[in-house]
Amino acid sequence: MAQHRSSQWYGGSDRNAYIHRAWMRRGLPSHAFDGRPHIAIANTASDLTPCNMHLNEIAESVKQGVYEAGGIPLNLPVVSLGETLVRPTAMLWRNMAAMATEELLRANPIDGVVLLGGCDKTIPALLMAAASVDLPAVVIPGGPMLTGTFRGVPLGCGTDVWKLSEEVRGGELSNEQFLRSESSMIRSKGHCNTMGTASTMGLVAEALGTVLPGLAGTPAPDSRLIEGSHETGRLVVDLVNEQRRPSTFLTKGSFHNAIVALAAIGGSTNAVVHLLAIAGRLGVPLTLDDFDVTGSGVPLLVDLQPAGRFLMEDFHRAGGLLAVLREVSDLLDPDALTVTGRPLVSYLDDAPIWDPEVIRKRDSPLLSDAGIAVLHGDLAPDGAVIKPAAASPELLTHRGRAVVFDTVEDLHARIDDPDLDVDARSVLVLRGCGPKGYPGMPEVANMPLPTKLLQQGVRDMVRICDGRMSGTAYGTVVLHVAPEAAAGGPLALVRTGDYVVLDVPNRRLDIDVPPAEFAARAPNATTVAGFAAPRRGWEQLYVRHVMQADTGADLDFLVGSSGDEVSRESH
């Protein structure tokens, strides 16, 4: 068997090998350096990332599995991003987390890595890093929380925040009752229990083939997550011994399967930018339009909030991802492999649906066509996306008068003004929220509705934004508009009073203004001023190099893989 990568540090009797071994002897015995594989546990546990606080416990189970299989486990804390706390948006640092993790994996004497993530950006960042350094790697999703209740009904973490806050604004719920629900929203350890971005990315990571099949979606407090983590620790040692790296099994077919899964589970639109970024690191030719081509015609089978009724604890009880994929197995790439070396489809024979209310049979879907729709047109030359499963069907074809907001602050200042010239048919347009313009592409596209319309009973409107939307949110929202306004996109030229035409069946997003008149306009000074604000540090680097949403919003100099080679010694 060829020598492990870590032997480049520990092998031999010269001064450098001595230094490397001696300092590690604080915790390792001499036989740790006898050729055993050294496994990093890239751990995003943090008290400031509430969804990932339990990952230290998961890491201990991984360690036991690694030891049992003959490896040496090593905890490696990496950048952790808490979606609910980090300002201005966790997306600003997804690429930084990926870059830092990549460099740590490459720089250290490790042979393989177990990636522990949960909250929205952590699994995407870890997979981007693993793809770029291309060491044997496997993901453990931290899992969703258990279901809490309020007023006698289950609470969907995230989704019910939006619903309850709108009830307060509409005068249907007192602020006192709203605050009382706060202690019920987060019942246990784990990430959001809706089909938000965290749940979506855990499941999509399994559909990609990077998770032990059947593990994603296991609730965080469930003992089966501990069992699966132990088994993953054993598995990663096999990956190293067999040199099963991400580049050896992540193919276009893997991403095809991930897109099918995304549609069938009613997953978050955020998965689009994350999958594009991961594919970019691998050199897999994935495009925005692939999400529409592959996802078109895939039925929505999972009746989960925000598109449906149930929550992730129900989803796991009903059979989980493998049960969903069995129903659409004919749409999957049969050759796409998983981290185990076996095809994903080989795990579907024994994957029954235990509750057909939660996971529907193929012949009784919630929607017959649930894929994320990709729009093009006057306002989105490079594309925009909408999630029809979370939208109001009657608004998917719509013509309305634009009400334009130049910044998030402008939106907050005017949305509840009783004199705002807006009605139920209006189209709310928010710009200055793209990767460069915010910066970081925040989850603000699901704009709150004007209070005066809420009081009239309006619960959805067409909304258009160059930012993102929380995976726990819902509504007829067009987002990820590319190019963004701050990068010279046509969204910067829209004026209040213009008529906007949304035609999801024909995949169009247009402006009903004479082309010559529209092209002659100059961007609003407020939009340009926001982009020109002075910046330093990471923010400056990010704004200079971030690409647009249609390619995954990665940094231009991080696309592709650099491998695991380090040519120079440290002493």
Q: Tens of pLDDT along 512-536? A: 999 999 999 998 777 666 556 667 8
**What pLDDT was estimated at residue 175?**
87
User: Mean of the pLDDT values across residues 275-285?
Assistant: 97
What digits encode the pLDDT tens for the residues 68-89? 999 999 999 999 999 989 999 9
Q: What percent of the chain has pLDDT over 70?
A: 98
What digits encode the pLDDT tens for the residues 116-168? 999 999 999 999 999 999 999 999 999 999 998 888 888 888 777 878 888 88
**Is residue 79 helix, strand or coil?**
coil
**Is residue 112 helix, strand or coil?**
strand
Q: Identify which has the larger pLDDT, 311 or 152.
A: 311
**What pLDDT was estimated at residue 528?**
64
User: Mean of the pLDDT values across residues 288-300?
Assistant: 95
What digits encode the pLDDT tens for the residues 19-72? 999 999 988 999 999 999 999 999 999 999 999 999 999 999 999 999 999 999
- Euclidean distance between CA atoms 299 and 1, whole angstroms: 47
Q: Is the pLDDT of residue 489 over 90?
A: yes
**What pLDDT was estimated at residue 171?**
83
The DSSP element (H or E) to which 95 belongs, if any, is: helix 94-107
Lowest mean pLDDT among 168-177, 390-399, 429-438, 543-552: 168-177
Per-residue b or e along 117-152, where b marks 16 or more CB atoms closer than 10 Å to that residue's CB: bbbbbbbbbbbbbbbbbbbbbbbbbbbbbbbbebee
User: Mean of the pLDDT values across residues 204-220?
Assistant: 98
> Within 10 Å of residue 335's Cβ, how many Cβ atoms?
11
Helix axis angle for 252-265 and 270-282, nearest 10°, is 170
- Euclidean distance between CA atoms 215 and 223, whole angstroms: 12
**What pLDDT was estimated at residue 167?**
84
Instruction: With beta carbons less than 8 A apart as the criterion, state whether 548 and 483 touch.
Output: yes
Q: Is the pLDDT of residue 302 over 80?
A: yes
Q: Is the pLDDT of residue 412 over 90?
A: yes
**What pLDDT was estimated at residue 534?**
64
Tell me the C-alpha to C-alpha distance, in Å, between residue 227 and each of 55, 189, 191, 239, 477: 14, 17, 19, 19, 40
DSSP output for 390-439: GS-GGGSEEEEEEEEESSHHHHHHHTT-TT----TT-EEEE-S-STTTTT
**What pLDDT was estimated at residue 2?**
65
**What pLDDT was estimated at residue 369?**
86
Task: Kindly state the greatest CA–CA separation across the chain.
Answer: 79
* Dihedral in degrees, nearest 10, Cα atoms 83, 88, 92, 93: -60
Instruction: With beta carbons less than 8 A apart as the criterion, state whether 427 and 410 touch.
Output: no
User: Mean of the pLDDT values across residues 415-419?
Assistant: 95
**What pLDDT was estimated at residue 570?**
80
149-155 contact pairs (CB < 8 A, 24+): 149/184, 150/180, 150/181, 150/184, 150/185, 151/181, 154/311, 155/181, 155/184, 155/185, 155/187
Helix axis angle for 94-107 and 270-282, nearest 10°, is 30
Q: Is the pLDDT of residue 251 over 70?
A: yes
| Mean pLDDT (the chain, rounded) | 94
Domains of the chain: 36-147+187-347 (3.40.50.2300), 148-185 (no CATH), 373-533 (3.50.30.80)
Q: Return the closest-CA partner of residue 465 out of 440, 449, 447.
A: 447
- Taking CA 397 as the corner, what is the angle to CA 393 and CA 401, rounded to the nearest 5 degrees? 115
Specify the DSSP class assigned to residue 58: H
**What pLDDT was estimated at residue 431?**
96
Beta-strand relationship, 380-386 and 373-377 = antiparallel
Q: Tokens for 503, please give them.
A: 């035609």
Instruction: Check residue 206 and give left, alpha or beta (phi > 0: left; psi -120 to 50: alpha).
Output: alpha
DSSP output for 190-215: SB-SSSSHHHHHHHHHHHHT-B-TT-
Q: Tokens for 111, please give them.
A: 């042979």
φ, ψ (nearest 5 deg) of residue 63: -55, -45
**What pLDDT was estimated at residue 153?**
83
**What pLDDT was estimated at residue 164?**
84
**What pLDDT was estimated at residue 532?**
60
- Euclidean distance between CA atoms 401 and 498, whole angstroms: 6
**What pLDDT was estimated at residue 470?**
84
Q: Tokens for 571, please give them.
A: 């002493």
φ, ψ (nearest 5 deg) of residue 408: -60, -40
Beta-strand relationship, 38-43 and 112-117 = parallel
